[in-house]
Chains A and B, each alone.
Chain A
Amino acid sequence: MTLALIGFCLVFLLAFSGVPLAFSMLLVGVGGFAWLRGLDPALSMLAQQVMDGSANYGMSVLPMFILMGLFVHRADLAEDLYDAANAWVGHLRGGLAHATVVSCAIFAAISGSSIATAATMSKVAIGPMRRLGYSDALSTGSVASAGVLGVLIPPSVPLVIYGLMTDTDIRKLFIATVIPGLLLTLFFIISVAVTIALRPHWGAPGPRATWLERMKRLRGVWAVLLLFAAVMGGLYGGVFTATESAGIGAMGALLIAMARRKVTFSTFIEDLVGAGKTTAMIFVIMFGALTFANFITLSGMTGVLVDYINSLNVGAIGVLIAIAAIYLVLGCLMESLSLMILTVPVFLPVAVAAGINPIFFGIFVVMMIEIGMLTPPVGMNVFTVKSMNPSIPISVIFQGTIPFLIANLSAVAALIAFPQLALAPLRWL
Chain B
Amino acid sequence: MQQADATGPKHRFDVLLGWMSAAPLALILLLTFVDVLMRYLFAMPVRGSSELIQFAMALTIFAALPVVTRQREHISVGILSDLVRGRLRTAKFLVCDGISLIALGLMTWRLGIQAFEYIDSKDATIVLRLQLAPLAFVMCGFALVTCLVVALQMVQTLRSSDSPEGAV
Which A residues fall within an 8 A CB radius of B? 14-24, 26-27, 30, 43-44, 46-48, 50-51, 54-57, 59-60, 63-64, 67, 239-240, 243-244, 246-248, 250-251, 254, 269, 272-273, 275-277, 279-281, 283-285, 287-288, 333-335, 337-338, 377-378
Contact = CB atoms under 8 A, between A and B. Distances in A.
B92 A248 contact: no
Size class of B's contact patch?
35 or more
24 contacts: A15-B78, A16-B80, A18-B93, A20-B96, A20-B100, A22-B103, A23-B99, A24-B99, A26-B107, A43-B113, A46-B106, A55-B54, A59-B57, A60-B57, A247-B29, A247-B31, A247-B33, A248-B36, A251-B29, A280-B60, A281-B74, A285-B75, A288-B103, A337-B75
Interface centre among A24, A50, A269 (most CB of B within 10 A): A50
Chain A contact surface mostly: helix
B7 to A, nearest CB: 16
B103 A26 contact: yes
B32 A276 contact: no
A391 to B, nearest CB: 23
A286 to B, nearest CB: 10
Interface string B93-121: 10110011011101101110110000000
B78 A279 contact: no
Interface in B18-63: 18-19, 21-22, 25-26, 28-29, 31-33, 35-36, 40, 50-51, 53-58, 60-63
Contacts of B79: 16, 333, 377-378
A68 to B, nearest CB: 10
B167 interface: no
Contacts of A247: 28-29, 31-33, 36
Nearest to B150: A23
A344 B122 CA distance: 36
A81 B50 CA distance: 36
A282 to B, nearest CB: 9
Interface string B63-105: 1110110010111111111000000000011011001101110
6 shortest A-B CB distances, which residue pairs? A247-B32, A18-B81, A276-B21, A20-B74, A272-B22, A280-B64
Chain B contact surface mostly: helix
Contacts of B154: none
Contacts of B67: 273, 277, 280
A287 B65 CA distance: 13
B168 interface: no
A237 to B, nearest CB: 12
Given A15-B76, A26-B103, A47-B110, A57 B53 contact: yes
Contacts of B139: 50-51, 54
